[in-house]
Amino acid sequence: MYANSSSDTPASDFWTHADRHLVRYGGEFTREIIERAAGSFVYTADGRRILDFTSGQMSAILGHSHPEIVETVRRQVASLDHLYSGMLSRPVVDLARRLAGTLPAPLEKTLLLTTGAESNEAAIRMAKLVTGKHEIVSFARSWHGMTQAAASATYSAGRKGYGPSAPGNFAIPVPNAYRPDFTAPDGTLDWRRQLDFAFGMIDAQSTGSLAACIVEPVLSSGGIIEPPAGYFGALQAKCRERGMLLILDEAQTGLCRTGSWYAFERDGIVPDILTLSKTLGAGLPLAAVVTSAEIEQEAYERGFLFFTTHVSDPLPAAVGNTVLDVLVRDGLDERARSLGTYLRKGLEELADRHEVVGDIRGRGLLAGLELVVDRTTKESSDDLGARVTRRCLELGLHMNIVQLSGMGGVFRIAPPLTATEEELALGLEILDEALAYASASRRPDDSAR
């Protein structure tokens, strides 16, 4: 007999059912029952209000339950929600046309999908088909998704225990200015020498079948690392020399998050293929692959196949159109720049007060704060980061921390673009208190082993 769902299930029963029936897919679940969300906050079953400094899964750029998104979903789901994948609707064509209007030439052809992994899967598949090659290059701390080709190009986590990845995948070092591996005489990162070395190694390993390089303009799961100005132009030149396509994954950086519509604008380049997801649906499952008419035509002539259940679905496409409406009308690129400046200043003030803050980086409303136990050695501590995260949650702030080998804990800070200065100030105040608490309770053996 089927049991009914109930909104008033006691917390003890809720967690009993969760522990018994849910597959754990990325560590432990946060032990809070979330009942609703609005704006920059989520609300728990026991009445707590938690400031969301991650925009959900780095996606809800308009905050939670934005009234115009709510109205679009209500209206669209009542008229046209899903179609046979070979059929088209007005929201799909409108969104493709409008996305092209936000992008430089020759990016004008769009494939609408659901998740970032799916869009990267499609982009890699297209690149392999168009070039007739199969080898893929990506950063050593990348995250592009958990499906086969995307996971094979992901190196920050999830590679062990699953058997062979797709053949022909290579990693190149990340140009991390805070922890440089190739240095100039003054100790700063020598990214040009690093990039030359990286592609020397790629050339040594390649079988002559290099198809594409897929990278994030700002590595998010890799610790909010932004390559230096000029890097992506040089990377694109390396790709051109080898007949490779350049794919930029702007899942988290696209659509005003970094203070410009697309993060690649800073470098004056245009990728061969652009992938969008998270921010495009503002929390709903919507993703896109955008490329040139020339590449699309070549892929079509070679029989490009990416026929999925929810390709070109009208409901999420309608939401995407509303997201564009709000971004343009409210000037959220400029707002992200302004709020980003305010956030950065607040984080720098925290660094002045707390020795455990090693580095602050990022752009716009995508910021990173790296924790260390010693600023001189840059020695890391997993436990320190975990303690700060727990204390933030206790005080009413949800933070996401990246903890990778060889790095301290790095907070990924990405509040909604609709957040207010008062909300950012509240988050900074809580983080300040949590850092003080964690530093005071730090044990002598906190350093990474």
Q: What percent of the chain has pLDDT over 90?
A: 92
Selected from 3.90.1150.10, 3.40.50.150, 3.40.50.300, 3.40.50.1820, the CATH number assigned to the domain covering 43-66+331-440 reads 3.90.1150.10
216 is catalytic: yes
pLDDT at 433: 98
- The per-residue pLDDT of the chain, averaged, comes to 95
Tens digits of per-residue pLDDT, 317-338? 999 999 999 999 999 999 999 9
278 is catalytic: yes
Would you say residue 4 has pLDDT above 80? no
- Cα–Cα distance measured from residue 400 to residue 416, given in angstroms and rounded to the nearest whole number: 14
Would you say residue 9 has pLDDT above 90? no
Q: Which of 141, 238, 242, 278 is catalytic?
A: 278
pLDDT at 98: 98
Would you say residue 146 has pLDDT above 50? yes
Q: Which residues contact 46 (CB under 8 A, 6 or more apart)?
A: 11, 33
Give 3's pLDDT tier (boundaries 50, 70, 90): low
pLDDT at 382: 83
Q: Which of 52, 261, 412, 446 is catalytic?
A: 412
Q: What percent of the chain has pLDDT over 70?
A: 96
pLDDT at 317: 98
Tens digits of per-residue pLDDT, 227-284? 999 999 999 999 999 999 999 999 999 999 999 999 999 999 999 999 999 999 999 9
Q: Which residues contact 244 (CB under 8 A, 6 or more apart)?
A: 131, 137, 210, 211, 212, 213, 238
Domain ranges of the chain: 43-66+331-440, 70-329
252 is catalytic: yes
Would you say residue 357 has pLDDT above 60? yes
Q: Which of 52, 121, 135, 216 is catalytic?
A: 216
The mean pLDDT value for 47-71 works out to 98
pLDDT at 403: 78
- Cα–Cα distance measured from residue 428 to residue 69, given in angstroms and rounded to the nearest whole number: 28
Q: Which of 252, 272, 333, 423 is catalytic?
A: 252
Q: Which fold has domain 70-329?
A: Aspartate Aminotransferase; domain 2 (3.40.640)
Would you say residue 443 has pLDDT above 90? no
Neighbouring CB atoms inside 10 A of 128's CB total 21
Of the candidates 342, 196, 366, 190, the residue with the CA atom closest to the CA atom of residue 278: 366
Chain mean position to CA 393: 22
378 is catalytic: no
pLDDT at 6: 61
Q: Which of 143, 190, 296, 387 is catalytic?
A: 143
412 is catalytic: yes
Q: Which of 52, 121, 226, 249 is catalytic?
A: 249
191 is catalytic: no
- Cα–Cα distance measured from residue 152 to residue 81, given in angstroms and rounded to the nearest whole number: 33
